[in-house]
Amino acid sequence: MDADSFPEIRESVRRLCAGFPGEYWRKLDASRTYPTEFVQALTQAGFLSVLIPEEYGGSGLGLGAATAILEEIHRSGCNGGACHAQMYTMGTLLRHGTPTQKQAYLPGIADGSLRLQAFGVTEPTSGTDTTRIRTFAQREGDKYIVNGQKVWISRAEHSDLMLLLVRTTPRDQAAKPAEGMSVLLVDMRQAVGNGLTIRPIRTMINHATTELFFDNLEVPAENLIGEEGKGFRYILDGMNAERILIASECIGDARFFIDRASTYAREREVFGRPIGANQGVQFPIARNYVETQAAALMVDRASSMFDAGIPCGTEANMAKMLASEASWHAADTCLQTHGGFGFAEEYDIERKFRETRLYQIAPISTNLILSHVGTHVLQMPKSF
């Protein structure tokens, strides 16, 4: 991301984040607690509704503004993972929902009275092969009966609504593997204890992720988004937005690490001079800066294409890969630059180091991105 884009938004985000310093995040990290106050502050400031059209109470801005917000959150040492889905998950509803559905939910999502932060796709047996999901929704009159299981569904305990991808036609009966899947909007407030069980998963970072179990969960048929069987196509745009926005978070992380490393290298003296005078310390930080600037240009490119309505699956994937690698390399350099102090919780390096490592894996793994480029762009044969 161009650090000069949306200057007023960036300054506002920085001011907000200043109220949530490192000790706030360290306390949450230790207790694995959701950052409720931070999410409320972002909501009240209107930062989570920037992509929702003005007619529904949002700002009606493009993905470029959203990337600026998330980048600054992460550069400030905060973490947008607790709430970034509130920005983009509603995109499937916005683009493919009925006028009645949009009017019923988008205003509440815009003002924060409704949280749509859960996106139920991944399953234990299918992993990244989404066409092999098994969670099934059987139509019975005016409702669907849902049975199955999801895993790595973040924020499910802190969301009022969830977009759920299910099979409505078995894979072996669908015309194509990607057909026969549908999207349901699930009201979590009614579902929990009535066919939905949420089980938290403790992980390396404080990411509020869970496993979901569906046992004859009833969902009103009117909660079907778009046409039955076309759900996979509906979620693809949302996945592109997710990858671009998470790429911007990685740019923010990378710049956090570069800021911290270069400052420490200027100030820390060993053997009578700043350690930043040593090429072995200076050059890796400089290389991280170059890599991050290049990745930021790819994020800009992908978000501009998305906002222009140009197909950008490849660009979204490449932006996410380049940005996540830039942040991970900068994290490693920053930790190395700080030496033993980098492992001390009070410096916030080790927390951010753990947090940014996630994006080598989620929301899509680096290997799957390389496979996409190899097969879809370079026309090489699939390995699977």
User: Which tokens is 36 given?
Assistant: 């409720």
Among 99, 121, 133, which residue's Cα sits nearest to residue 186?
121
Exposed / middle / buried, residue 53 (Cβ in 10 Å: 0-12, 13-18, 19+) = middle
Q: Are strands 116-120 and 136-140 parallel, antiparallel or unpaired?
A: unpaired
* Contact (CB, 8 A) for 268 and 274: yes
CA separation for the pair 348, 352 (Å, rounded): 6
Catalytic residue among 71, 72, 123, 242: 242
Q: How far apart are CA 254 and CA 323, in angstroms?
A: 8
Kind of pairing, strands 181-187 and 224-225?
A: antiparallel
Contact 330, 258 (CB under 8 A): yes
Q: Tell me 376's DSSP state.
A: I
Q: What share of the chain is helix, strand, coil (3-state, %, to 5)?
A: 55, 15, 25
Q: Is 242 a catalytic residue?
A: yes
Residues listed for the chain: 384
Contact 215, 147 (CB under 8 A): yes
Comparing C-alpha atoms, which of 316, 338, 188, 199 is closest to residue 256? 338
Q: Which residues are catalytic?
A: 242
